[in-house]
């Protein structure tokens, strides 16, 4: 009698959240995107109300540094936050667009002294710059932007 293998083989199973290997880079939750949207809305409302303009310079710089460190750390530690940036097809292109926005806001801020903590300046410092840093880090993490390992073309003379 021939042996017929059933479909309940122990060699074939669906992935489980308890598996020890990493799961694919798809975000299970939308929490990072929702928190970024909420933070953006908070920064816009607070800067329009003049909250950041009333802060001491040291406190404002500390807040901007904390936001930058928090976003970079969250994208390295939290799987859902990392998956949010990994799903982007071209993070470097978006990061460069954000860099142009930062430069434009800096030029506009240089023409109007004291506008760094008003609406456009606070939005740029507390939202755009940290997101641009995260996207630059994601672009550098991807292998196509790094030099391929191996000998350089000039290491061996060409055959003549």
SS3 22: coil
Model's pTM, two decimal places?
Answer: 0.66
CA separation for the pair 132, 140 (Å, rounded) = 12
Nearest residue to 23 via CA among 86, 81, 79, 92 = 79
Please give the structure tokens belonging to residue 41: 């809305």
Q: What is the pLDDT of residues 65-85, one digit of tens each?
A: 999 999 999 988 888 888 888
Residue 158 has pLDDT above 50, yes or no: yes
Q: Is pLDDT at 110 greater than 90 in this prediction?
A: no
Whole-angstrom distance, CA of residue 63 vs CA of residue 40: 14
**Annotated domain spans of the chain:** 31-143
């Amino acid at each position: 009698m021939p042996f017929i293998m059933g479909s309940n083989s122990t060699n074939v199973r669906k992935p489980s959240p308890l598996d020890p290997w990493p799961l694919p880079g798809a975000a299970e939750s939308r929490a990072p995107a929702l928190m970024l949207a909420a933070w953006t809305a908070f920064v816009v409302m607070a800067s329009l109300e003049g909250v950041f303009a009333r802060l001491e310079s040291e406190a404002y710089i500390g807040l901007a540094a904390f936001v930058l460190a928090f976003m970079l750390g969250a994208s390295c530690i939290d799987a859902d936050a990392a998956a949010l940036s990994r799903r982007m097809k071209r993070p470097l292109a978006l990061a460069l667009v954000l860099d142009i926005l930062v430069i434009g806001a800096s030029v506009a801020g240089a023409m109007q002294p004291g506008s760094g903590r008003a609406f456009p300046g606070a939005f740029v410092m507390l939202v755009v710059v940290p997101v641009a840093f995260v996207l630059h880090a994601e672009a550098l993490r991807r292998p196509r932007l790094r030099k391929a390992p191996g000998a350089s073309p000039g290491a061996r003379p060409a055959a003549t």
